[in-house]
Amino acid sequence: MLDDFFIRALLAGLGVAIVTGPLGCFVIWRRLSYFGDTLAHSALLGVTLAYTMEFNIAFSVFIISSLIALILIQLQKRTNLPGDALLGLLAHSSLAVGLVVIGFLTFIRFDIMGLLFGDILAVTVDDLLIIWIGGPLILLVLKLIWKPLFASTVNYELAEAEGLNPDRAKAIFTVLMAGIIAISIKMVGLLLITGMLIIPAAMARNISDSPKKMVVYSIIGGLLSVILGLFSSLEFNTSSGPSIIAAALFLFILSLLNIKQSIKLKN
Amino acid sequence: MNSNKNVLVKLKQAGFRINDKWLVKGVTLQIEKGKIVTLIGPNGSGKSTTAKIALGIYKKIDGEVEKYTNKIGYVPQKISIDWTLPLRVNDFMTLTENLNEETINEALSLTGVIHLKGKNLGDLSGGEFQRVLLARAISKKPDLLVLDEPVQGVDFTGEIALYELIKKISDELNCGILLISHDLHTVMSATDHVVCLNGHVCCSGTPIDVAKNNEYKALFGEQASQILTRYEHRHDHIHTNEGEIKKN
């Protein structure tokens, strides 16, 4: 069964969607969408590193993204620049450095398009292993830090005062973000990872009235996006990563219609 | 080590500054089980800062803080809930600790907001939200309650009822309370120890001692010192930003 490239793609996509669902909720709640972007951009550097040193791609992307996240936290402490400026600085400079390094690596033929937009159809059994071991691991850790992370998302001082150690939760969450980007980069590519994090969660926000419901709907939305996106990419012969994101957008629009209907019913 | 096992938090000459500006300086106080300590003082006198030092929210401080408990309930002065979070009262109650249904209901009933349990936090009025905040803080049966203007925006009758509730909780749970308030007349009578702040400790002691103190009179006016005998507080002066007092 795993011999079929389409089945592998489907399993990879579903594995990623289960993890991006809850993480994406936190990205929205904590207003981190540009932070996700920054980590994704820096992932290019990780990919080039993997090619030069002959590392595993997911592993080296994880290392570089975590490193960039740590640099960001340090810069926030040491400079007076606003957070979005620092994110922009890191996102674009790490992307640029990544591209420059690729220029030097003339001996390797790079599939830049594949890197930017993902190539889920080229997913191997090894990639599947990484997704289905790494993914549940990320979810497990997220479950462990859920209380302090969620409490500090609602109110930092409340969490700190009542002894929940929000700084540690935030640091761990940052590493989890690097983790999901590392395992999903091959699938959706570095330009579209943030879309996978944000769009299903945004869709879920439109139709939920409690945090737990939002997480569940976000996961379901992600799974549906993957199934819908992959089958339509097969049908219409479009690239798979963008098709998944487009499917997520379609679900988001549907969730807006749902709201309008319920308002009509109320009136 | 802790010489008195009833002590929950101890501040010794504690102070906090941002760059070179002191928010508060040289505060010494201690909170014990079953006792209510009240911080009073004009705006910007460092009341909330002192509370945050005691809670350990501010870490780079001058002086010393010794905390002997981690079971803390906190009602912050300001809290803004983001619309991006779909959060009902029920979800908010279990924010920092898992509680069973019964405990949640009991706490919400005590502060008179049980009917709001399923409502979205963003739809509450200021006074309702304040009651929910208080319910959340007491529901976990803490050793130490830190209440930063807990009844702001609550209607007058509710205000008195909530202060009575706070007093009752202090007795029943035998927990220590650090209370910050502007409402001198309601607060002072229920308090065991008053600390009057104005960037530093102006005076402290029992409510009666403090009311007699000259610095306290200078800060709040002659009228304020009579609040313990007369139940009427007429404001005949305004406080300027520098903490000075102008007669009307």
Residue of A nearest to B98 (CA): A147
Report the top-level CATH class of A5-191.
mainly alpha
Task: Check residues A245 and A103 and name the one with the higher pLDDT.
Answer: A245
Confidence of residue A248 (pLDDT cuts 50, 70, 90): very high
What ipTM score was computed for the predicted complex, to two decimals? 0.80
Q: For B203, list phi and psi in degrees, rounded to 5.
A: -160, 160
- At B24 the three-state DSSP class reads strand
Q: Around Cβ A128, how many Cβ atoms within 10 Å?
A: 17
A150-207 confidence digits (pLDDT tens): 999 998 889 999 989 998 999 999 999 999 999 888 888 887 888 999 999 999 999 9
Provide residues of A within 8 Å CB-CB of chain B.
28-29, 31, 147, 150-151, 153-155, 157-164, 205, 208-214
Neighbouring-strand partners of residue B247: B237
CATH topology of domain B1-71+143-150+176-228: Rossmann fold (3.40.50)
CB contact under 8 A, A164 and B96: yes
**Residues whose CB is less than 8 angstroms from the CB of residue B62 and which lie 6 or more positions away in sequence, other chains included:** B13, B14, B15, B16, B17, B25
* Dihedral over Cα of A13, A15, A21, A23: its sign: negative
Of A153, A161, A209, the CB nearest to B120: A209
Residue A203 is inside which H or E element, if any? helix A193-207
A202-245 confidence digits (pLDDT tens): 999 999 989 999 999 999 999 999 999 999 998 998 888 889 99
CB contact under 8 A, A211 and B91: yes
CB contact under 8 A, B96 and A31: no
Nearest to B186 by CA among B214, B146, B216, B150: B150
Provide residues of B within 8 Å CB-CB of chain A.
52, 55-57, 70, 72-74, 76, 79, 81-82, 84-88, 90-92, 95-97, 120, 146
The stretch A93-114 carries a mean pLDDT of 81
pLDDT per residue as tens, chain B (248 positions): 455 778 899 899 888 988 888 888 888 899 999 889 999 888 888 899 999 999 988 888 888 888 888 889 999 988 877 777 889 999 999 999 889 999 999 999 988 899 999 998 888 888 889 999 999 999 989 999 999 988 888 888 888 888 888 888 888 888 999 999 877 766 777 788 888 888 888 888 888 888 788 888 787 777 666 655 443 344 455 555 555 555 54
Domain ranges of chain A: 5-191
Answer whether residue A267 shows pLDDT above 60.
Answer: no
The CA distance from A150 to the nearest CA of chain B, in Å, is: 8
**Residues whose CB is less than 8 angstroms from the CB of residue B220 and which lie 6 or more positions away in sequence, other chains included:** B40, B184
Residue B66 is inside which H or E element, if any? strand B62-67
Confidence of residue A263 (pLDDT cuts 50, 70, 90): low
